[in-house]
Structure 1
């Protein structure tokens, strides 16, 4: 169990969205965690580790219990550049990073979590000027490895703009997952994953890439950083020729029709 800003506790629950409906279980977990962590007081369930139990397997997930009523299972988080996202197909398949800091949950796990095809996606972004925006999609599904983790996403609303459906040539919906060592994108002259140093659902190549390199400030050169092409009209770069950098990014899902 790890502490960072908020208490993280391991909870035996099939989904993050079950937490609020199971107060007795939460209270038991709090008592257990208090015994495990000496000196911890004023416990909170703003953010916790849950345990997802699909058939014949189980894995920990990170739960956001506060944003827009809570119940979110976090798929990806960026906040300090501590984890390298320039990874192989197998790394993105299995997942990597630290659930309490920066991570990619793993494409196999994301498929299991979304295979009901009734999940909504929320993306939260913050730049280094403290500006925060979000993009919400009413439908989000990732296929299995045989189908190359093809992305299905639709039903946008929010303030960050719909960068996943930017234009005819830059549309990430229905695209296969690509990594630097496995080229499944639509770009005929090369591998978008290798060029932009990450795994993502590239088209030819991108109008969004939340797995790009973490820059601690605006930068110049190849747009290989975290990118959201509709962010305050920065798709062509900032006026001074620099690229936009993001301080924090979070991708998370919960069922449609969720009631806090």
Structure 2
């Protein structure tokens, strides 16, 4: 029996229904693990590594939780840094991010390079090759100050109990209440609090700085309210995948 390394292998086998599948990206993992496969979007074969859909899951979690993963495969989900590392280690992966704001607007960002290093390198992010409609908030941080201090490419992962960011005066993860590849601090954070409508105060919600009409990374909006995102999803598949 052929063991699927990720969801794309099931798609090649003709499996075209969304749902839970078992994958084994590397024999050293010690067996197959369950993942959610998106088999309908853009040719299918996508392994979902993060999803914010209903706001029921707390994403202000520890390093151990982010390493292992948490949530429900069919709902709010963080697949786990260790598994994402193994999924991206053996094959060149594409990342697709899908976002929907509180007004119902949908946009996407696609990256032709996506790799997460192992824990010894603090799950360092390598991402690039942007295309899409949401703007490149993740790799270049172009919605930030322009100084490079907000880009996320080549950043280590941080949580409130393990500060690996580039901000020397505090902890980005503690301040924004989530784990993420913070710089000093961010132009994107898809693990922020899941607000259901516009909110005030610290910009600790799901955030994508290049979204149309989003205010800058520091200044509060003139209305006093910050826009919220209703939905976010991160999913990966091999770059050479052909539906």
- Counterparts of 1:163-202 in structure 2, within 5 Å, are 163-164=137-138, 165-166=140-141, 167=146, 168-202=148-182
The answer on whether the counterparts of 1:160 and 1:231 sit within 8 Å (CA) in structure 2 is yes
Mapped partners of 1:199, 1:52: distance in 2 = 25
Q: Counterpart in 2 of 1:138?
A: 112
Asked if 1:14 corresponds to 2:11, the answer is no
Q: CA RMSD in A?
A: 1.4
Question: How many residues get paired?
Answer: 229
Q: Which moved more, 1:236-245 or 1:191-200?
A: 236-245
Q: Counterpart in 1 of 2:20?
A: 49
The alignment partner of 1:240 has SS state of coil
- Counterparts of 1:24-35 in structure 2, within 5 Å, are 26=15
Mapped partners of 1:187, 1:91: distance in 2 = 23
Which residue of 176, 183, 205 corresponds with 1:225? 205
Mapped partners of 1:188, 1:22: distance in 2 = 49
Larger Rg: 1
Q: TM-score, normalised by structure 1?
A: 0.85
List 4+ stretches of structure 1 deviating above 4 A: none
The alignment partner of 1:19 has SS state of helix
Which residue of 112, 123, 144 corresponds with 2:97? 123
Superimposed CA distance per residue, residues 110-166 of structure 1 (whole angstroms, 9 cap, x where no aligned partner): 000001351000000001211000000000000000000000000000000000112
The answer on whether the counterparts of 1:117 and 1:141 sit within 8 Å (CA) in structure 2 is no
Q: Counterpart in 2 of 1:32?
A: none
Mapped partners of 2:222, 2:42: distance in 1 = 34
User: Which sections of structure 1, spanning at least 5 residues, go unmatched?
Assistant: 1-11, 27-43
The answer on whether the counterparts of 1:77 and 1:250 sit within 8 Å (CA) in structure 2 is yes
Q: Counterpart in 2 of 1:7?
A: none
Q: Counterpart in 2 of 1:162?
A: 136
Displacement, 1:180? 0.7
Which residue of 69, 77, 84 corresponds with 2:51? 77
Displacement, 1:241? 2.3
Q: Counterpart in 2 of 1:59?
A: 33
Displacement, 1:242? 1.1
Q: Counterpart in 2 of 1:247?
A: 230
The alignment partner of 1:231 has SS state of coil
Mapped partners of 1:100, 1:109: distance in 2 = 17
Mapped partners of 2:33, 2:78: distance in 1 = 13
Q: Counterpart in 2 of 1:8?
A: none
The alignment partner of 2:212 has SS state of helix
The answer on whether the counterparts of 1:238 and 1:244 sit within 8 Å (CA) in structure 2 is no
Mapped partners of 1:224, 1:153: distance in 2 = 23
Displacement, 1:239? 4.3
User: Which sections of structure 2, spanning at least 5 residues, go unmatched?
Assistant: none
Mapped partners of 2:23, 2:228: distance in 1 = 33
User: Highest relative contact order (Cα 8 Å, sep 6+), 1 or 2?
Assistant: 2
Mapped partners of 1:94, 1:87: distance in 2 = 11
Q: Counterpart in 2 of 1:256?
A: 239
